């Protein structure tokens, strides 16, 4: 027993002073002390030769040795793990990584972002609103009273649960909601999805996207409207683009106009896209009707403003050479992945 204890003390010293600077040295340490043919196993085997009254004491000593050796092993192991010279790294970290396939932005998103960012540069802030709207914010507040024929111009989806609720037919509802807040002046751009009960074809869909804008302050004039929209189309289509305003009618603006740009495909000489006119209609606009301002609690003798609204799909079709609007909502990956590098 005494001999054994002396021997154990020596091993303890050896263990305490052990070092390992590589995985190999660590493994040597493990096999020497903790392996199946290692020192600790061999010492344990001595148990049978220990007199019965000393077995307990010997057992405790051996247990202590085993625990401290295992701890030492863990310490040596983690020290090696923290350095790079261990042989644990079996992977070649200089190999190029797996490529992560990137998605593509949707052409409608691309076009909406282009439109929005041009107006943001002019100081317009983005405002959003609900797609399920009540009659007041989609129609009545916009000077479209109950029996107004303009309601038929926009075939509306009503919700069966409540006849006062509908899917918004334009994003003008956002403008009403912003005006109601009463924080003047207002300079907002309102992108969003809108719904109209129209027959689906290659040129029109029952849902599409719009970007509308609103600017209200003292002394806002039609000249401001023209200059703002002229800046927009030049940024969007280039400096050579020509514009024309045609008188039009919207219940919520007076006077109202539609703005055309020279056809981007034929340069104005006439083609099938512009129906041989040389012009493409891109947006509706006008000075906000005083009734609309008053409906939202804004003093129409003090404030004036202009508004405009445009679709996102049509310019997207033109820009990306897409010949069917339905492709935009079918989510066919073969179609969508063509836009990975589009801007």
3-state secondary structure of 114: helix
Q: Are 311 and 325 in contact (CB under 8 A)?
A: no
CA 18, chain centre distance (Å): 56
Binding site for ligand PHE (CB under 6 A): 170, 172, 212, 250, 253, 284-286, 307-309
Closest by CA to 67, choosing from 43, 40, 27, 45, is 40
Which of 86/192 has CB closer to ligand PHE? 192
| Residue 223 Cβ vs ligand PHE, minimum distance, rounded to whole Å | 17
Closest by CA to 293, choosing from 216, 223, 190, 236, is 216
Closest by CA to 225, choosing from 299, 301, 146, 304, is 304
Which of 22/291 has CB closer to ligand PHE? 291
DSSP one-letter code for 20: -
Which of 170/205 has CB closer to ligand PHE? 170
Strands 132-134 and 162-167: antiparallel
Instruction: Say if residue 298 is exposed, middle or buried (CB neighbours under 10 Å; 0-12, 13-18, 19+).
Output: buried
Strands 158-159 and 243-250: unpaired
| Residue 246 Cβ vs ligand PHE, minimum distance, rounded to whole Å | 13
**Strand stretches in 44-170, DSSP E:** 125-126, 132-134, 158-159, 162-167
Which of 191/309 has CB closer to ligand PHE? 309
Which of 65/225 has CB closer to ligand PHE? 225
3-state secondary structure of 95: coil
3-state secondary structure of 308: strand
Which of 29/303 has CB closer to ligand PHE? 303
Segment (H or E) for 288: strand 279-288
What CA–CA distance (Å, rounded) separates 41 from 301?
A: 100
| Residue 101 Cβ vs ligand PHE, minimum distance, rounded to whole Å | 38
Which of 303/308 has CB closer to ligand PHE? 308
């Amino acid at each position: 027993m005494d001999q054994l204890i002396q021997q154990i003390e020596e091993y303890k010293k050896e263990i305490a002073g052990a070092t390992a600077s590589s995985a190999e040295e660590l493994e040597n340490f493990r096999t020497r002390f903790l392996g199946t043919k290692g020192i600790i196993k061999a010492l344990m085997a001595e148990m049978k030769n220990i007199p019965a009254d000393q077995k307990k004491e010997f057992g405790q000593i051996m247990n202590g040795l085993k625990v401290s050796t295992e701890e030492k092993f863990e310490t040596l192991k983690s020290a090696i793990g923290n350095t790079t010279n261990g042989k644990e790294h079996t992977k070649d970290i200089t190999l190029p990584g797996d490529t992560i396939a990137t998605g593509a932005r949707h052409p409608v998103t691309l076009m909406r972002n282009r439109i929005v960012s041009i107006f943001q540069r002019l100081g317009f802030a983005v405002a959003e609103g609900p797609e399920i709207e009540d009659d007041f914010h989609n129609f009545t507040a916009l000077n479209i009273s109950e029996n107004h024929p303009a309601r038929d111009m926009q075939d509306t989806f009503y919700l069966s649960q409540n006849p006062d609720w509908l899917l918004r037919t334009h994003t003008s509802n956002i403008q009403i909601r912003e005006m109601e807040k009463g924080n003047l002046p207002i300079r907002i751009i309102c992108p969003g999805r809108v719904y109209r009960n129209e027959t689906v074809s290659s040129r029109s869909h029952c849902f599409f996207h719009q970007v509308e804008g609103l600017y209200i302050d003292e002394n806002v004039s039609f000249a401001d409207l023209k200059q703002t929209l002229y800046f927009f189309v030049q940024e969007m289509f280039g400096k050579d683009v020509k514009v024309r305003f045609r008188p039009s009618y919207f219940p919520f603006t007076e006077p109202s106009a539609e703005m055309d740009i020279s056809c981007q495909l034929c340069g104005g000489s006439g083609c099938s896209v512009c129906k041989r006119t040389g012009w493409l209609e891109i947006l509706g606009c006008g000075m906000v009707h005083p009734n609309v301002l008053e409906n939202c609690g804004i003093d129409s003798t003090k404030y004036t403003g202009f508004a405009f609204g445009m679709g996102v799909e049509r310019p997207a079709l033109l820009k990306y050479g897409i010949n069917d609007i339905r492709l935009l909502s079918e989510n066919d990956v073969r179609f969508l992945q063509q836009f990975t590098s589009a801007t």
